[in-house]
Structure 1
């Protein structure tokens, strides 16, 4: 129904008798049709030249009317068009005296997050009303997966049932319903018939539906929605509202004595009353000197009714006056912000039997607040305040195994080796159903047991033509399975297609090489602890220290005098004897004593390091890897191995290996055979694979091979379980994996599938060159050199000072 408002100064009214301006109503019935509403609005503007229009009733009718209002500058006020798509920002003559649907999504999101539900299904009608709120719901539930489900506004009961049966096959049990209340009641009634209003389900009704529930079927519809939670805008009780209800009911029953409960007011009626009140107040405040329309100049090409409608002279001042109106109406405070009613408090309703129980409130500033309390909902669960569908007091988990339809479909790879990770058994040749076992399966099933809900996996085998797991991941992204379980490595290109859980194994690619017996039968093994540069530098410093000591001592110490060969022998003997601290010559010069003390400290560090490293060479480091350098393998053209079907092949090629150098293997036994042969006999010199596989090989052959950190750095995420993008199971299973891997159960699973490696050497220790080089001791030599140099400078200074009289003598003997 569209109501056009004119103005009349002679009509009487009991309320506000002091007002100079009175309103006259011109009523047009839109018959709830969009075209009829547009025609009625055009008639009111063109023929009645109204000053304002109250309407439209629905969001579908509003779009054309808003354009018509802008064109004619006639304020159009709606009390029931709630779509957020309708806005006053770019439509200055559109005024919304009701709350748009975007305001309530905060309350819905707060409820969902409070109860910890991680997935919801949004059931909405396929029109302007339904599509308007959904983007805002997605925004408010950023951490929650939202599944849209659209129902046509002309849907039959059979079509509604078909959609609901489809939802029953899903695991999600939380449904947000946003549509017209009459259609919504049909959805709830059909859901109850097919068993979707039982324990474990959650239903949330939006604002418009919640307000209108008791006005459908004379209130009998409330029994259909028992256990449903609803969000509705708060209408504060007041004496004015109670008086108005009594007057309305008395008048309604007098004119329609058989209607019963239909006389009860709903919030849209109150907003309509407040809208007209606001319009009357605005008309009183604004000047009426500009009443009337200006005729629009019409071009010869535009002879339609739209082309020759006039422009209201009164519209601009009236719409400004409406924006400034502030008062307490029947529905609450009436305040317009940017042409829209300001957001208010929302009630959280629980439908119980034929009653509506207010269990709390929500405001943007305070969030959820318990009813009759300023406290938050912290003890809401403990107090059993909510009755859920099926008259249950237990908070639904929001996720259940489908009672009808398919189980959790799990894809598993068919492997030829490393069966301790996963092995598909008893494969059905028709359905590919299988009963797998292995380390990965045990971890997966242990994680499922940690989930707060029941999940029943059903396994299906998958054999890739080239044993490449990328095919397995692609099938998951195409919807063939609900998850993929196995020794699947988390790498970047796969993460673009699916989501991975947290890893349950170590990450990274490493190298494994054979161990060689390094029993030292070399005659010159005593030279091994130091590198050549360290030997040369140490020898040079022995000579230097011998010379410095001789320089300081030979003039004052008889031990360092005599024939030249004697002085040279004494100096070198003194210097080298400091290695074992056996020098016998007494030092007279303090400078020489200073240099020798510093040098003895350096010699102490060098001898202790030499002894420790030589001991290590002769005992601990007897067994050493045959090769530790990837570049050396490439340079020598050595063959290396990789596990067939893995991404390691491409990694090795990028590092510089030729395809002819790369040999695949399928199992740990085949890997051992290739390594045992060596490159010269058609085998391999090293193996590159992920840490988890190499540890599996070492658990069987730890005495023969060692794991070496390669010189290149290629990180992976380890093994993980794959799920489709945005699956809520990814997060839940990841948390469960943490619980499993950090508990005692993890060690039990590992011992079940891999041999005890406690007796093996620590394979994490990186093997590298064990020789000590000059770079390890250059600081010590620097200290000794600086000490010698400073002592030499002091010696020269003292020498020149003592013989200054000779330097000043010009005779030839002075030199």
Structure 2
């Protein structure tokens, strides 16, 4: 029985063996080369993951007629060793594809070998943009190009409002390939890269420390972007921590390549790291992923018992999916008995000319490129020869702990949740789209918080006032400049964290020294009533001004008119006095001519008639004349003249009353030259650049200058005439006059300055943004006007009403204002006189013919006309008789002429 059982067992074994051999005839083994640095964390993990991928794939697809046979060769980190390994695999083992090599520098040469032999070179770790699958037809990248993360990094930088960033990268093809794309992305969002720190791979710890200290001392920028391999990155972060660059005020961003390798780093390295990293996000089944990690851990434990960490990294997952994709492509391409077409026969293993050409290489390449499946790292889908970009996780690294604070996708940009479909998930670049990270120094304050110096002084607190809370002992800032700055920050397209640092201004700590603190890197900016001047711009950059500009002088106003001995002459100007006097004389003369022949009150001795002319014209000024006019032309002239006199007298009275009752102020000085000529003292604001203006431009001797601080000191110095004038900037003068506008005024020329501005470090990228925001704020009348109203307008309105009475010119009335009146009275008087003389000549023309002597005819006629004019007009007898009867009633002793007797002849023959 025992023999029978043994025989049956032997027959069964032979049958199964024959069956397996029969089945093996239908399975085709396809040789695939693998070139890796097996001593590195990436290479060691990739080898294990590829082995597990083969086992998992053919366990799941045991019906496939092809099997991948991996032939692995170690290359280290040497480019030549990698090229030699690839050449040996292609020439001697005639592999149908090569997975690897590991680094971008190694792949650069191996790709050319694959191109010559038409063997697909499939890399899951050579992510440098310098290697382009579109330019190398037999290069396939089963990983995401490093450029895929560039937009995500740029959006993070823009979201936090960082305007400067310093990249720190390794001097290799892998690192150098990404930097141009990063620079272009930063340029699109107007972020400056003032410095690039390039560290060679062979740098010692001392050299790394030296470079970090250079960044710390010479660069204003505190935001750093690290893109390098894990071996160099681990040493960099340890030295950065030792240099004090992992404390508050610094910010670090880590690219996806380095952040994918954080787990293999030691605890000392991890505790030295703090910042934000960008990492690939995989849309895979959590159950499937966890199962793989458990099996991987078991394999690591069995092969390396002392290794307590799985060491899984992104590249291991991509290596796993690469084997799956290649196995699927080989089966789909139907590779059977594929051969290499030999070019030249050679026994040398490294003879490039002897490389053959793969028959199935192009078919396998094309099949891999169209292969799609759900891999361990996510959706496997190649676009233009490389893995399609997917989502990124934004991770906050805090020592050994990590926290996802947001996501980035090509379509929606930043968001706190990957599947967030709200409006907040749209690509609006605001820091609130990410969860609050913990920055270096274990703080939630952004590393770019500006240290802003603010001046603390005693005077003009309306512009900037610093107080301290008694309980917290922290400064509380207020004032016009402070509120304008806050309004400007609200107008910025990005957040700008800040803190105010008081700077006490005194005789030794001037505004110039305050601004120089920016150059010394003690402050990042200065906010206050800082004037933009040329010498300050040599060590700081100013924004556009937000206030009025210019320097002028303020002087005391005095009222001397009411104490003037000749004030009664002030209401009328000299030319008006002369014109009025001439009009009086002319009008009196015209009335005398019109009344002389018909009115006895205008007759008599010559001296009496001259007196009558002047008396009548000037007495009419107050309507006190006693002479009566009887000629109608005289009455016409007098009507016009009374109208002129009424307006003149009323205007004179009103002007004189105003001078005697209304206060009219005059500036004590209006010319700088007069002040210098008389050697008077002038004042200026202490710690102001105005002192240089007075000594250098206006040539005042320094001994004639006096410094003051507060508006009250200005008032005391001017009122007690310690100084003739105060020179200061127009905003300060306006604020001073708002308090003392009834006593002082601003006079003289305005000396050009650029007004108040905010100061930043030279070359600061914030200056154009702040300047544009200042324009938006100052052009907004409601916003900017509200700030001005809060601090200045309540007093300024009252001052403007009082300034209406202030005049630096003579208040006298001028001739031009009454020119129309004088023209009217002159025309009326002249026309009446001409009409009267025409009638007189016409009626007495026959009497002028008695002069026959030719030589003396003119004088004879003139003498005859004068004799006739001096005679009483016979037609006025009736008027005289009436006048005589009136006198008889008043004076009985006067004998009345007998009635019926004609006395006209006596009147007509009256002697001249």
Indicate the TM-score class for this superposition, using the shorter chain for normalisation: 0.5 to 0.7
Structure 1 residue 233: deviation in Å? 0.7
Give the drift of 1:714: 3.6
Query: 2:283 touches 2:379 (CA, 8 Å); kept in 1?
Result: no
Residues in 2 aligned to 1:66 and 1:525: alpha-carbon distance in whole angstroms: 104
Shift in Å at residue 105 of structure 1? Answer: 4.9
Contact 2:453 2:514 (C-alpha < 8 Å) held by counterparts: no
Match of 1:329 in 2: 375
Q: Does 1:266 align with 2:313?
A: yes
User: The residue matched to 1:249 in structure 2 has which SS?
Assistant: helix
- Provide the C-alpha distance between the structure 2 equivalents of 1:73 and 1:316, rounded to a whole number of angstroms: 7
Q: How does 1:77-92 map to 2 (within 5 A)?
A: 77-88=122-133
Rounded to whole Å, the distance in 1 between the matches of 2:532 and 2:554 is: 21
Instruction: Describe how 1:596-745 pairs up with structure 2 within 5 A.
Output: 622-625=664-667, 666-668=705-707, 689-691=728-730, 694=733, 706-708=745-747, 710=749, 714-718=752-756, 720-721=758-759, 723-726=761-764
Aligned residues of 2:671 and 2:748 also touching (Cα < 8 A)? no
d(CA) in 1 for partners of 2:518 and 2:245? 29
Aligned pair 1:363/2:409, yes or no? Answer: yes
SS in 2 for 1:269: helix
SS in 2 for 1:347: strand
Following the alignment from structure 1 to structure 2, what is the Cα–Cα distance between the partners of residues 311 and 674? 100
Equivalent residue, structure 2, for 1:212: 261
Q: CA deviation at 1:490?
A: 1.5
> What TM-score do the two structures reach when normalised by structure 2?
0.51
Task: Describe the shift of the 1:307–1:627 C-alpha distance in structure 2 as closer, same or farther (beyond 3 A).
Answer: farther
- The structure-2 alpha-carbon separation of the partners of 1:505 and 1:763, relative to structure 1 and needing over 3 Å to count, comes to farther
Is residue 33 of structure 2 the alignment partner of residue 33 of structure 1? no
Match of 1:135? 183
Measured in 1, the distance between the counterparts of 2:813 and 2:160 equals 64
Aligned partner of 1:181 among 230, 243, 248: 230
Q: CA deviation at 1:332?
A: 1.3
Aligned-residue offset at 1:504 = 9.2
Q: How many residues align?
A: 657
Q: Per the alignment, in what secondary structure is the counterpart of residue 278 of structure 2?
A: strand
Give the CA deviation at 1:250: 9.0
* Equivalent residue for 1:498, pick from 540, 550, 561: 540
Partner of 1:233: 280
After alignment, is 357-366 or 687-696 more displaced? Answer: 687-696
Whole-angstrom distance in 1 between the partners of 2:735 and 2:646: 54
Give the CA deviation at 1:612. Answer: 9.8
Separation (CA, whole Å) in 2 of partners of 1:313 and 1:615 = 119
Gap runs ≥5 in structure 1: 6-10, 297-303, 402-407, 414-418, 423-436, 540-561, 582-606, 751-755, 782-815
Question: What do the CA deviations read for 1:623-665 (whole angstroms, capped 9, x no partner)?
Answer: 23467799x99xx9x9999979998899999xxx998899996
Q: Deviations over 1:315-366 (max 9, x none)?
A: 7776666555444332112334444433211224456897655454332434
Look up the SS of the partner of 1:232 in the other structure: strand
Structure 2 SS opposite 1:135: helix
- In the TM superposition, residue 185 of structure 1 has moved relative to its aligned partner by 4.0
Q: Partner of 2:284: helix, strand, or coil?
A: coil
Of stretches 267-276 and 306-315 in structure 1, the one that deviates more from structure 2 is: 306-315
TM-fit CA distance, 1:622: 1.6
CA contact (8 A) 1:180 1:209 kept: yes
**Structure 1 residues 518 and 625: CA distance shift in structure 2, 3 A:** same
Q: 1:347 aligns with which of 374, 386, 393?
A: 393
Change (3 A) 1:146 1:53: farther
Distance 1:21 1:208 in 2: 34
Structure 2 SS opposite 1:213? coil
Q: Is the 8 A contact 1:531 1:773 kept in 2?
A: no
Equivalences for 1:144-155 in 2 at 5 Å? 152-155=200-203
Distance change (3 Å), C-alpha of 1:742 and 1:73: farther
Task: Give TM-score scaled by structure 1 length.
Answer: 0.55
SS in 2 for 1:667: strand
What aligned pairs does 1:209-608 form with structure 2 within 5 A after superposition?
Answer: 209-216=258-265, 224=271, 230-238=277-285, 241-242=288-289, 245=292, 249=296, 252=299, 256=303, 258=305, 260=307, 265-278=312-325, 284=332, 323-349=369-395, 358=404, 360-370=406-416, 374=420, 388=438, 395-398=444-447, 446=475, 477=519, 488-491=530-533, 494-495=536-537, 497-500=539-542, 507-512=549-554, 515=557, 517=559, 519=561, 523=568, 525-527=570-572
**Mapped contact 2:128–2:146 kept (Cα < 8 A):** yes
Distance 1:611 1:317 in 2: 115
Give the drift of 1:270: 2.3
* Structure 2 partner of 1:61: 106
Q: Where does structure 2 lack aligned partners over 5 or more consecutive residues? A: 1-31, 37-53, 345-349, 469-473, 483-495, 584-630, 821-912
Structure 2 vs 1, CA of residues 531 and 166 (structure 1 numbering), >3 Å: closer, same or farther? farther
Asked if the contact 1:324–1:336 (Cα under 8 Å) also holds between the matched residues in 2, the reply is: yes
- Sort the Cα spacing of 1:249 and 1:457 in 2 relative to 1 into closer, same or farther, 3 A: same
Corresponding residue SS for 1:716: coil
Counterpart Cα distance in 1 of 2:647 and 2:812: 21
d(CA) in 1 for partners of 2:698 and 2:121?
A: 76
Query: Are the structure 2 counterparts of residues 646 and 350 from structure 1 closer, same or farther at C-alpha, using a change threshold of 3 Å?
Result: closer
Paired with 1:368 and 1:126, the residues of 2 have a C-alpha distance of 31
The CA distance in 2 between the partners of 1:564 and 1:512, in whole Å, is 59
Q: Cα 1:212–1:671, aligned 2, differ >3 Å: closer, same or farther?
A: closer
In structure 1, what is the Cα distance between the partners aligned to 2:533 and 2:354? 67
Q: CA RMSD in A?
A: 7.3
Report the equivalent of 1:798.
none
SS of residue matched to 1:215: coil
C-alpha distance in 2, partners of 1:165/1:454?
25
Q: SS where residue 212 of structure 1 aligns?
A: coil
Deviation of the 1:697 alpha carbon: 8.7
Secondary structure (helix, strand or coil) at the match of 1:37 reads: helix
Contact 1:245 1:265 in 2 (8 A): no
Q: Is contact 2:541-2:767 (8 Å) kept?
A: no
Equivalent pair of 2:568/2:656 in contact (CA under 8 Å): no
Q: Tell me if the contact between 1:707 and 1:764 (Cα under 8 Å) persists in the aligned partners.
A: no
TM-superposed deviation, 1:77: 3.8
**Distance in 2 (alpha carbons) for counterparts of 1:763 and 1:308:** 104
Tell me the CA shift for residue 716 of structure 1: 1.1
> Which one has a larger percent helix, Structure 1 or Structure 2?
2
Separation in 1, partners of 2:669, 2:135: 74
Note closer, same or farther for the CA distance 1:305–1:620 as it changes in structure 2 (3 Å cut). farther
CA distance in 2, matches of 1:612, 1:3: 112
